[in-house]
Amino acid sequence: MFTKFWVFLIVSILILGFLIIKYKFLAKIAIEILDAYKIKKAHIVGHSMGGLIVQLMAMDYSDRVFSITSVSAGTFAKSSEPMTDEEKKNFDKTWQVLLSNKPTKNYQQSVDGFLKVYKYLHGDMQVDENIAKDYIKDLYYRSKHVNWFKKFSKENAVHNHVKAQANISDRILDLQNIDIPTLIIHGQKDNIVLPRLNAQLAAKLIPNSKLKIIPEMGHMILNKKLFIQLSDIILNFIKRVENVEQCNSN
């Protein structure tokens, strides 16, 4: 579709709950993937924790990035504003929903628990159960390392990646120095990565960034219509970036 620039998507980087992995290490892995495919520079898209990784790539590997799109992600800055009562209520409820999921090593025993969580995390948009079940199957069958499900169900280890995003390094100055075209997409109904304290904050800090809040969208993307909508938004953004790049090179 694009003749001049490669588009390389990093979607939903998954951090297993019991693993401790540094963000910088993940960004380095992403660069190594580009190297392996001999891609010198790319448009990078990341969802959830993947959105944090693409922000880090823009800060630390700016020469390898044409643009970044951060979807449903936190940011490397602490908001000076506390949660509102409504935000805290929604966040606390989200945490209880996450902890209620007790997966086993068996897909059939666990699928309903995952579906319950994903439907809650999907905001006011309907979940396509076929897409959701395929996503869950990937968790079980894409890798043979299924022992993590036992640890996943323990409160001290569950969703360590969520807790990690609440304790990220503060890099406000680096965010303010990003000079790469940036698109920030977030669901209005995201109750796990709250839009006001994350997406809106990132948009204020990153110069000339574009913020797109999607009504009714939660944190997950398990709906074909939503997927197409987001794909169109991202591709149109990339096209605009390429057009500007071409004009500047002429």
Q: Identify the domain containing residue 221 by its residue range.
A: 1-250
* CA triple 29-99-83, angle to 5 deg: 80
Using one digit for the tens of pLDDT, what is the confidence trace for 199-250? Answer: 999 999 999 999 999 999 999 999 999 999 999 999 999 999 999 988 887 7
3-state secondary structure of 48: coil
Tokens 């409504």 found at: 86
CATH (domain of 44): 3.40.50.1820
Using one digit for the tens of pLDDT, what is the confidence trace for 144-155? Answer: 555 555 555 554
Cβ neighbours for 135, distance < 8 A, ≥ 6 positions apart: 118, 222
pLDDT at 1: 41
Question: How many domains does the chain contain in total?
Answer: 1
- Secondary element (H or E) of residue 213: strand 210-214
pLDDT at 177: 94
Of 58-62, 81-85, 167-171, the poorest mean pLDDT is in 167-171
- Regarding beta strands 65-71 and 182-187, do their DSSP bridges make them parallel or antiparallel, or are they unpaired? parallel
pLDDT at 158: 47
- Secondary element (H or E) of residue 46: strand 42-47
pLDDT at 154: 52
pTM reported for the whole predicted model: 0.85
**Would the CA dihedral through 152, 158, 164, 165 be positive or negative?**
positive
